[in-house]
Amino acid sequence: MKKLFMYIIMFSLIFIACEKGNSGQEGVKNKINASGEKTAVATFAGGCFWCTQADFEKLGGVEKVISGYTGGTGNNPNYENYARGGYVEAVQVYYDPDKLTYEQLLDYFWRHIDPTDAGGQFSDRGPEYRSVIFYHNEEQQKIARQSKQVLAGSGKLKKPIATEIIKFTKFYPAEEYHQGYYRKNPFRYKYYRLGSGRDQTLKRLWGNDAGIRPAAQQTYQKPDDATLRKKLTKLQYNVTQKNGTEPPFENEYDHNTREGIYVDIVSGEPLFSSLDKFDSGTGWPSFTKPLEPGNIVEKEYRNFLSSGTEVRSKHADSHLGDVFPDGPQPTGLRYCMNSAALRFIPKEDLEKEGYGQYRKLFDKK
């Protein structure tokens, strides 16, 4: 009995120690958040963490970004002493691995820094501002090394890559006033960023690829049935998974006149644009053409009651609606969709939602 009691005490101490050890290493493995979704973490140093956080928070698939200090010695660094302890300004990026891969994060990271600068980043000089990839496990280390090798061999950069790849140890969040600085102090942030030469240098290094976001929005996956039943309303599930049809006129987007794009409610793949939407008088949202034809699958059907062409999404295989040859010119087509199969993203939210490449469609108007 005494021995059993000692084992219980030992186990409890080990458990507590592990919990404390993990407190600075969240995301080494995928975690399940309160909504039952997976979350992974990556850690990057790319100069001033105000800018690095602002850049990563614009990326679709990223759930949150925290500014902080990592890579040094001593406990509890702060803004006044972190450099003396060998720490660098860094960010921890929490993301959904079903929407965004680590490779895509790296691709995005490279194009928001100067990988050839060994003395800091942009106007911020010193080792505390150098660029570093902190890997959390062997898989991240392998992917980071491969990504660096590919970039070095691409010939895109004229100098050797100075960005280090270092094993992650512990991360200390920065003071609260640093978190989301670009949102709290937009004028000061814009003034600082302009003066730092960051965007000018990125444009010179990367040209049209400067700040390019990876194809996170092009990686679409259909969740399993149990997840879909939780995620979708009964009507959305019936329409997309059981080929149902919602009532005309009494649906969300029939009379929607806002500018933006429509994506698959299941996968998020872009489908239609408000620029091609018209009032067909049928009671369902109608479009003259798809925004991304590659995400549309048309299937002929014929039965004893009717025949026609069904429209489905390519990646999620969602039933969307039908296409008819009675639309307006120039296409003469009417893509008659179910609102329940779609999610509308207004133009002002395109960057935040990870569809920034479509914003230019509305800026040209």
Burial class (CB in 10 A: 0-12, 13-18, 19+), 247: exposed
- Residue 356 identity (one-letter amino acid): G
Tokens of 180: 């989301």
Distance between start and end Cα atoms, the chain:
80
- Pairing type for strands 38-46 and 342-346 reads unpaired
DSSP, res 95: E
CB 72 within 8 A of CB 95: no
DSSP one-letter string for 294-348: GGEEEEEEE-SS-EEEEEEETTT--EEEEEES---TTTT-EEEE-GGGEEEEEGG
Tokens of 192: 């600082």
Residue in 100, 311, 336, 342 annotated catalytic: 336
Residue in 40, 45, 48, 133 annotated catalytic: 48
Nearest CA to 265 out of 235, 236, 243, 234 is that of 236
CB 62 within 8 A of CB 100: yes
Nearest CA to 24 out of 43, 37, 39, 7 is that of 43
Facing residues of 323 across strands? Answer: 309, 335
Q: Is 51 a catalytic residue?
A: no
Catalytically active residues, by annotation: 48, 336
